[in-house]
A = this chain, B = another copy of it.
């Protein structure tokens, strides 16, 4: 009887963790102190081993940097700091999120719109454009200045 409610989301949990972790790294990493997976996991209350997988994925895609061994950990190169937020989403959740039809139709375009195309596309593209223009460093700066909680 009781209808089990789904827990819907725009971004996957992996992607949510990735974004929070990257901001955390941007905030805490210094040349003298790299940020370890353990530290991030503790600080953001994310399962450590799961987080590790995510950080590996980001590293492989050159969105963040890492070194092994004692005092190793994760950090952001100057290049990394200029990576835009949409890139992180793209790597974690695939390139389809901001292209795909809300109703799951094979094509999404004004030529072949689905019933909700008009309603959905305006805001979807709006968010996409914002994330494309926002890089990690900028986001971290705002988070610091506004004292935003991770």
| Chain A residues near B (Cβ < 8 Å) | 3, 5-16, 19-20, 23, 57, 60-61, 85, 91-97, 100, 102-105, 112-117, 119-120, 122-124, 126-127, 130-131, 134, 139, 142-143, 146, 148-150
Which of chain B's residues have a CB closer than 8 A to the CB of A14? 6
Q: Sample 24 A-B pairs with CB under 8 A, ordered by A number.
A: A3-B60, A3-B61, A5-B94, A5-B95, A7-B94, A8-B12, A8-B93, A9-B104, A10-B102, A11-B102, A11-B103, A20-B103, A20-B115, A23-B115, A85-B116, A105-B149, A113-B148, A114-B148, A114-B150, A115-B139, A116-B139, A119-B130, A119-B134, A120-B127
Which of A16, A92, A115 gathers most chain B CB within 10 Å? A115
* CB closest chain-B residue, reference A85: B116
**CB-nearest residue of chain B to A11:** B102
Complex Cα gap A20–B106 (Å): 14
Of B19, B94, B120, the residue contacting A103 (CB under 8 A) is B19
Smallest CB gap from A103: residue in B? B16
Check if A104 sits within 8 Å of B16, measured CB to CB.
yes
Residues on B with beta carbons closer than 8 Å to the beta carbon of A60: 3
Determine if A96 and B3 form an interchain contact, defined as CB atoms under 8 angstroms apart. Answer: no
Please determine whether A94 and B10 come into contact, CB atoms closer than 8 angstroms: no
B residues less than 8 Å from A91 (CB atoms): 3
> How distant is A98 from chain B, measured CB to nearest CB, in Å?
9
How far, in angstroms, from A149 to B112 measured CA to CA in the complex? 7
